[in-house]
Protein backbone atom coordinates (compact mmCIF):
# COMPACT_ATOMS: atom_id res chain seq x y z
CA UNK A 1 0.00 0.00 0.00
CA UNK A 2 1.34 3.37 -1.05
CA UNK A 3 -0.39 5.43 1.67
CA UNK A 4 0.07 5.38 5.46
CA UNK A 5 -2.99 7.42 6.45
CA UNK A 6 -6.22 6.83 4.49
CA UNK A 7 -9.47 8.66 5.24
CA UNK A 8 -12.91 7.68 3.93
CA UNK A 9 -15.60 10.33 3.61
CA UNK A 10 -19.08 10.71 2.19
CA UNK A 11 -22.60 11.76 3.03
CA UNK A 12 -24.73 10.23 5.80
CA UNK A 13 -25.38 6.59 4.85
CA UNK A 14 -22.70 6.40 2.15
CA UNK A 15 -20.99 3.34 3.66
CA UNK A 16 -17.89 4.96 5.17
CA UNK A 17 -17.67 2.81 8.29
CA UNK A 18 -18.30 -0.46 6.47
CA UNK A 19 -15.48 0.25 4.00
CA UNK A 20 -13.18 1.43 6.80
CA UNK A 21 -13.68 -1.86 8.68
CA UNK A 22 -13.01 -3.94 5.55
CA UNK A 23 -9.87 -2.01 4.58
CA UNK A 24 -8.47 -2.09 8.11
CA UNK A 25 -8.94 -5.87 8.14
CA UNK A 26 -7.35 -6.23 4.69
CA UNK A 27 -4.27 -4.17 5.58
CA UNK A 28 -4.12 -5.05 9.30
CA UNK A 29 -4.39 -1.30 9.81
CA UNK A 30 -5.20 0.79 12.85
CA UNK A 31 -8.83 1.92 12.68
CA UNK A 32 -10.23 5.33 13.70
CA UNK A 33 -14.04 5.43 13.75
CA UNK A 34 -16.37 8.36 14.38
CA UNK A 35 -17.84 8.05 17.87
CA UNK A 36 -21.15 9.70 16.98
CA UNK A 37 -23.17 7.63 19.46
CA UNK A 38 -21.48 9.44 22.36
CA UNK A 39 -22.81 12.84 21.27
CA UNK A 40 -25.77 13.59 23.56
CA UNK A 41 -26.95 16.42 21.27
CA UNK A 42 -27.46 14.28 18.15
CA UNK A 43 -31.03 13.01 18.76
CA UNK A 44 -31.97 16.47 20.09
CA UNK A 45 -30.55 18.12 16.97
CA UNK A 46 -32.80 16.13 14.63
CA UNK A 47 -35.83 17.14 16.75
CA UNK A 48 -34.82 20.80 17.08
CA UNK A 49 -31.95 21.80 14.73
CA UNK A 50 -31.96 25.52 15.50
CA UNK A 51 -31.55 25.06 19.24
CA UNK A 52 -29.01 22.23 19.23
CA UNK A 53 -26.87 22.73 16.09
CA UNK A 54 -24.12 24.77 17.80
CA UNK A 55 -23.54 22.48 20.84
CA UNK A 56 -23.81 19.47 18.49
CA UNK A 57 -21.03 20.74 16.24
CA UNK A 58 -18.82 21.89 19.14
CA UNK A 59 -19.10 18.47 20.78
CA UNK A 60 -18.22 16.70 17.52
CA UNK A 61 -15.21 18.95 16.92
CA UNK A 62 -13.84 18.41 20.44
CA UNK A 63 -14.28 14.64 20.24
CA UNK A 64 -12.80 14.33 16.74
CA UNK A 65 -9.82 16.47 17.69
CA UNK A 66 -9.09 14.43 20.82
CA UNK A 67 -9.46 11.13 18.97
CA UNK A 68 -7.29 12.04 15.97
CA UNK A 69 -4.63 13.80 18.04
CA UNK A 70 -4.28 10.91 20.49
CA UNK A 71 -4.26 8.13 17.90
CA UNK A 72 -2.10 9.80 15.26
CA UNK A 73 0.53 10.84 17.78
CA UNK A 74 0.78 7.35 19.23
CA UNK A 75 2.99 5.18 17.05
CA UNK A 76 2.09 1.53 16.71
CA UNK A 77 5.07 -0.69 15.96
CA UNK A 78 2.84 -3.41 14.50
CA UNK A 79 0.45 -1.28 12.41
CA UNK A 80 2.03 1.25 10.07
CA UNK A 81 -1.25 2.05 8.23
CA UNK A 82 -4.15 4.03 9.71
CA UNK A 83 -7.70 4.02 8.26
CA UNK A 84 -10.22 6.64 9.39
CA UNK A 85 -13.92 6.94 8.52
CA UNK A 86 -13.95 10.74 8.77
CA UNK A 87 -11.95 13.80 7.77
CA UNK A 88 -11.47 16.43 10.47
CA UNK A 89 -12.65 19.09 7.98
CA UNK A 90 -16.03 17.36 8.21
CA UNK A 91 -16.56 19.55 11.29
CA UNK A 92 -16.49 22.69 9.17
CA UNK A 93 -18.57 21.24 6.33
CA UNK A 94 -21.43 20.15 8.59
CA UNK A 95 -21.25 23.40 10.55
CA UNK A 96 -21.58 25.35 7.30
CA UNK A 97 -24.84 23.55 6.55
CA UNK A 98 -26.22 23.51 10.11
CA UNK A 99 -25.29 26.89 11.62
CA UNK A 100 -26.54 30.43 10.92
CA UNK A 101 -23.90 32.84 9.59
CA UNK A 102 -22.87 34.47 12.88
CA UNK A 103 -22.49 31.16 14.71
CA UNK A 104 -20.64 29.67 11.75
CA UNK A 105 -18.09 32.52 11.75
CA UNK A 106 -17.39 31.92 15.45
CA UNK A 107 -17.17 28.17 14.88
CA UNK A 108 -14.77 28.67 11.96
CA UNK A 109 -12.41 30.72 14.15
CA UNK A 110 -12.24 27.86 16.67
CA UNK A 111 -11.86 25.31 13.89
CA UNK A 112 -8.94 27.21 12.29
CA UNK A 113 -7.04 27.23 15.61
CA UNK A 114 -7.54 23.50 16.19
CA UNK A 115 -7.10 22.36 12.58
CA UNK A 116 -3.43 23.47 12.54
CA UNK A 117 -2.66 20.60 14.93
CA UNK A 118 -4.29 17.87 12.84
CA UNK A 119 -2.43 15.69 10.36
CA UNK A 120 -4.07 15.51 6.94
CA UNK A 121 -4.50 12.07 5.33
CA UNK A 122 -2.19 10.91 2.54
CA UNK A 123 -5.28 10.15 0.46
CA UNK A 124 -9.05 10.65 0.77
CA UNK A 125 -11.61 8.14 -0.49
CA UNK A 126 -14.88 9.97 -1.13
CA UNK A 127 -17.97 7.75 -1.56
CA UNK A 128 -20.54 9.53 -3.71
CA UNK A 129 -24.08 8.09 -3.67
CA UNK A 130 -27.37 9.56 -4.92
CA UNK A 131 -29.74 10.73 -2.18
CA UNK A 132 -32.29 7.96 -2.80
CA UNK A 133 -29.56 5.36 -2.16
CA UNK A 134 -28.46 7.21 0.99
CA UNK A 135 -32.04 7.16 2.28
CA UNK A 136 -32.27 3.44 1.55
CA UNK A 137 -29.10 2.80 3.59
CA UNK A 138 -30.33 5.06 6.41
CA UNK A 139 -33.58 3.06 6.61
CA UNK A 140 -31.67 -0.24 6.65
CA UNK A 141 -29.40 0.68 9.55
CA UNK A 142 -32.48 1.88 11.45
CA UNK A 143 -31.09 4.51 13.81
CA UNK A 144 -34.28 6.03 15.20
CA UNK A 145 -33.11 9.66 15.19
CA UNK A 146 -32.00 9.45 11.53
CA UNK A 147 -35.30 8.28 10.06
CA UNK A 148 -36.66 11.80 9.62
CA UNK A 149 -33.62 13.19 7.73
CA UNK A 150 -34.95 15.18 4.77
CA UNK A 151 -33.72 14.80 1.21
CA UNK A 152 -32.95 18.54 1.10
CA UNK A 153 -30.56 18.18 4.04
CA UNK A 154 -28.69 15.34 2.31
CA UNK A 155 -28.53 17.36 -0.93
CA UNK A 156 -27.01 20.32 0.94
CA UNK A 157 -24.38 18.10 2.56
CA UNK A 158 -23.61 16.49 -0.82
CA UNK A 159 -23.09 19.89 -2.44
CA UNK A 160 -20.90 21.08 0.44
CA UNK A 161 -18.69 18.01 0.25
CA UNK A 162 -18.24 18.10 -3.52
CA UNK A 163 -17.57 21.86 -3.50
CA UNK A 164 -14.87 21.39 -0.86
CA UNK A 165 -13.20 18.58 -2.81
CA UNK A 166 -13.21 20.58 -6.03
CA UNK A 167 -11.82 23.69 -4.35
CA UNK A 168 -8.96 21.93 -2.51
CA UNK A 169 -6.03 20.01 -3.85
CA UNK A 170 -6.29 17.07 -1.49
CA UNK A 171 -5.42 13.76 -3.15
CA UNK A 172 -8.88 12.21 -3.57
CA UNK A 173 -10.28 8.97 -4.98
CA UNK A 174 -13.81 10.01 -5.97
CA UNK A 175 -15.81 6.75 -5.99
CA UNK A 176 -19.17 6.35 -7.70
CA UNK A 177 -20.84 4.34 -4.94
CA UNK A 178 -24.33 4.33 -6.48
CA UNK A 179 -24.45 0.53 -6.48
CA UNK A 180 -21.66 -0.18 -3.99
CA UNK A 181 -21.86 -3.38 -1.97
CA UNK A 182 -18.50 -3.68 -0.24
CA UNK A 183 -19.72 -6.45 2.07
CA UNK A 184 -21.45 -8.57 -0.54
CA UNK A 185 -19.36 -8.02 -3.66
CA UNK A 186 -15.65 -8.84 -3.40
CA UNK A 187 -14.95 -7.07 -6.69
CA UNK A 188 -16.09 -3.75 -5.23
CA UNK A 189 -13.66 -4.02 -2.34
CA UNK A 190 -10.92 -5.22 -4.69
CA UNK A 191 -11.41 -2.13 -6.88
CA UNK A 192 -10.66 0.10 -3.87
CA UNK A 193 -7.66 -2.00 -2.81
CA UNK A 194 -6.25 -1.94 -6.35
CA UNK A 195 -6.73 1.84 -6.49
CA UNK A 196 -4.85 2.28 -3.20
CA UNK A 197 -1.89 0.34 -4.58
CA UNK A 198 -1.21 3.12 -7.09
CA UNK A 199 0.55 6.47 -6.82
CA UNK A 200 -1.48 9.63 -7.52
CA UNK A 201 -0.85 13.29 -8.03
CA UNK A 202 -2.81 15.78 -5.93
CA UNK A 203 -6.39 16.40 -7.04
CA UNK A 204 -9.36 14.20 -7.92
CA UNK A 205 -9.16 10.74 -9.45
CA UNK A 206 -12.42 9.02 -10.39
CA UNK A 207 -13.07 5.35 -9.60
CA UNK A 208 -15.96 3.33 -11.04
CA UNK A 209 -16.85 0.05 -9.34
CA UNK A 210 -17.26 -3.03 -11.58
Catalytic residue annotation = 85
**70 Cβ contact partners less than 8 Å away, ≥ 6 residues apart:** none
How far apart (Å, rounded) are the C-alpha atoms in residues 68 and 34? Answer: 10
User: What are the distances in angstroms from CA 127 to CA 66, 80, 114, 162, 178?
Assistant: 25, 24, 26, 11, 9
Q: Angle at CA 95, nearest 5°, toward 168 and 177? A: 60
174 has which bridge partners? 126, 206
Pairing of strands 30-32, 82-84: parallel
Amino acid sequence: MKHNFVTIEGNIGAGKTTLAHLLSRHYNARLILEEFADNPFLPKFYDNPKQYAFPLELFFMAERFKQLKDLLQTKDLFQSITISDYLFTKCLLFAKVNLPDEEFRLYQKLFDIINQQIVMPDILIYLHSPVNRLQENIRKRNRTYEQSIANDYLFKLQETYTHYIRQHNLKTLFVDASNADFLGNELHLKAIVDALDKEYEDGQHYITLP
